[in-house]
Amino acid sequence: MSQKTNWLPGTRNGQLSMAKNWVTILNTNGAAWGVPASETAELTGLTNAADTALAAAKNETTRTPVATAQCRAAFDTMTAKMRDVKKRYFYVPPLTDADIISLGLHPHDNTPSPSGTPTAQAMVETYLVGRHELGVRIVYVAGDPDDKANKGYRIWYMVVGHGEEPPINPEQLTKSFFTKRKKDVIDFDYEESGKTAYFAVQIENDGKKGVWGPLVNALIP
């Protein structure tokens, strides 16, 4: 299952598009930015492998649990390389803010973040995206959505199969990811289709968590 960071797109198509954009830009500007050709070549190969794996995982003829697992592994490897390249070569001279934006990233914000504890409450609404994919939308149910303490959202979830005991409160949810988006996508594993996912969200600010939102559930397509 994919958990996204606040800069990485929330879908595999979006991640692949970003990686391809990086490859194109690095082939033109990488040398001037101090990015070794070997790094660009490695990212190119991993991007091509992820592209091929995604096509196989989506094709009705070749789509199997093995193809799905291979796709997940290919994207994990590609995005790990993207994080490495970003950490080592971006956000340092000679890149400018315009260069950063061209890569689909945000220039560094040097304004200190507020440290208050969030007081608003939010819930998760789900919507269908594709096979074994659910979109999650943050909806405020109490408090001020514009409060500066609302820096992001810790989305908790749990997948329950037929005959398994469902959670009765949000504290029983076992997995989570943090996002600054009000909309994101969770790509569940192939074998989780047909099971039920339970969700709840806490608004977060630098590790300070707000109140729990209500527990909701949805069938994984």
Is the model's pLDDT at 201 over the cut of 50?
yes
Provide mean pLDDT across the span 189-213: 92
Residue 128: the pLDDT is 92
* Confidence category of residue 1, pLDDT binned at 50, 70, 90: very low
Is the model's pLDDT at 76 over the cut of 90?
yes
Does residue 17 share a domain with residue 81? Answer: yes
Does residue 127 share a domain with residue 215? Answer: yes
Does residue 132 share a domain with residue 98? Answer: no
Q: What percent of the chain has pLDDT over 70?
A: 94
Is the model's pLDDT at 113 over the cut of 60?
no
Q: Which two tokens stand for residue 115?
A: 């440290």
| Calpha distance 183→139 (Å, rounded) | 10
Q: How many alpha carbons fall within 13 Å on the CB side of residue 94? A: 7
**Predicted model pTM:** 0.54
Query: At 190, which CATH number?
Result: 2.60.40.10
SS3 assignment for the chain: CCCCCCCCCCCHHHHHHHHHHHHHHHHHHHHHHCCCHHHHHHHHHHHHHHHHHHHHHHCCCCCCHHHHHHHHHHHHHHHHHHHHHHHHHCCCCCCCHHHHHHCCCCCCCCCCCCCCCCCCEEEEEEEEEECCEEEEEEEEEECCCCCCCCCEEEEEEEEECCCCCCCCCHHHCCEEEEECCCEEEEECCHHHCCCEEEEEEEEEECCEEEEECCCEEEECC
At 168, the amino acid letter reads I
Does residue 127 share a domain with residue 95? Answer: no
Q: Which two tokens stand for residue 90?
A: 């971006």
Residue 110: the pLDDT is 63
Residue 3: the pLDDT is 42
| Calpha distance 170→121 (Å, rounded) | 13
| Calpha distance 117→206 (Å, rounded) | 9
Q: Which residues contact 129 (CB under 8 A, 6 or more apart)?
A: 11, 135, 185
Q: Which of 68, 102, 136 is the last residue of a domain?
A: 102
Provide mean pLDDT across the span 196-217: 93
- The predicted-structure confidence for 31-66, as pLDDT tens digits, reads as follows 999 999 999 999 999 999 999 999 999 998 888 989
Q: Which of 41, 72, 102 is the last residue of a domain?
A: 102
The total number of structural domains in the chain stands at 2
Q: Which of 73, 102, 131 is the last residue of a domain?
A: 102
Residue 15: the pLDDT is 94
Q: Which two tokens stand for residue 54?
A: 């995604």
- Cβ–Cβ under 8 Å, residues 160 and 198: yes
Structural domain range at position 78: 12-102
